[in-house]
Amino acid sequence: MTETPTLELRGIDKSFGPVQVLHDIALSAHAGEVTALVGDNGAGKSTLVKCIGGIHPIDAGDYLFDGRPVHVHSPRDAAALGVEIVYQDLALCDNLDIVQNMFLGREKRRGLVLDDSTMEEMAAATLRGLSVRTVKSLRQKVSSLSGGQRQTVAIAKAVLWNSKLVVLDEPTAALGVAQTAQVLELVRRLADNGLAVVLISHNMNDVFAVSDRIAALHLGRMAAQVKASEVTHAQVVELITSGRSGDLGPRTTPNGAAV
């Protein structure tokens, strides 16, 4: 790791009341790379993502963005930094078209009137930049799109705002084989375009298909963050299920004393 990571988290703790969900988490995401965040149900993936997105404030630890320590208290703060999160339920309005969804809440206006032409141009340029050719018309309603196309729109919406870090929560969970391939291709292209991408997934095939690094969470602790090329499928599964694999992971079990 020679350059500064786009996102660097150090020693993040997060509790909800008496329950400590995240313990001393360290995570880095580099520009141009896909960092996969894996972990079993309840490992703390969603909480960590919400901390990154500013929905949950962190209790302790450092949040560094482009090397600078920052304080993220709300989704607005996160968006201002260039952090965009695509949640699993996408949050699209079925009755609006693609352009309207991409600009929802941040419309371009000319005086009182919406500047539809400029928005359509920008949306088209964004989709072209991502080499998306699966949507026929930008003016078709989202209700007429397939699951993969919806995911594409949600991702394009996140990229539209010169974002630097895009976090994708299970983007392929509800998709078929062909659509999963398309979305993964898109995820890869985001990184190739110079963004830092954090991909949450349960699917090991997806993780190995696109990611450069893998960060495995186990019971609220970061078991290991490794290069995807240096580990095997089986090792990652072991990290997810037991928190360690060979010489990877903490020396003691996560339930015992700290290292």
* CB proximity list for 237: less than 8 A, separation 6 or greater: 204
Instruction: Specify the residue, 60 or 178, whose C-beta has the smaller distance to another protein.
Output: 178
3-class DSSP state of 52: helix
Q: Which of 104, 176, 234, 242 binds another protein (CB under 8 A)?
A: 104
Q: Which of 46, 100, 152, 245 binds another protein (CB under 8 A)?
A: 100
Question: Whole-number minimum distance, CB 85 to another protein, in Å?
Answer: 10
Site residues for another protein, window 220-259 (CB under 8 A)?
227-229
List the alpha helices (DSSP H) in 98-176: 98-102, 116-129, 147-159
The rounded distance, in Å, linking the Cα atoms of 33 and 155 is: 16
Tell whether residue 149 is a contact of another protein (CB under 8 A): no
* CB proximity list for 124: less than 8 A, separation 6 or greater: 138
Tell whether residue 210 is a contact of another protein (CB under 8 A): yes
Q: Which of 26, 70, 130, 181 binds another protein (CB under 8 A)?
A: 181
Instruction: Specify the residue, 18 or 111, whose C-beta has the smaller distance to another protein.
Output: 111
Tell whether residue 136 is a contact of another protein (CB under 8 A): yes
Tell whether residue 105 is a contact of another protein (CB under 8 A): yes
Q: Which regions of 148-256 does DSSP assign to beta strands (E)?
A: 165-169, 196-200, 213-218, 221-227
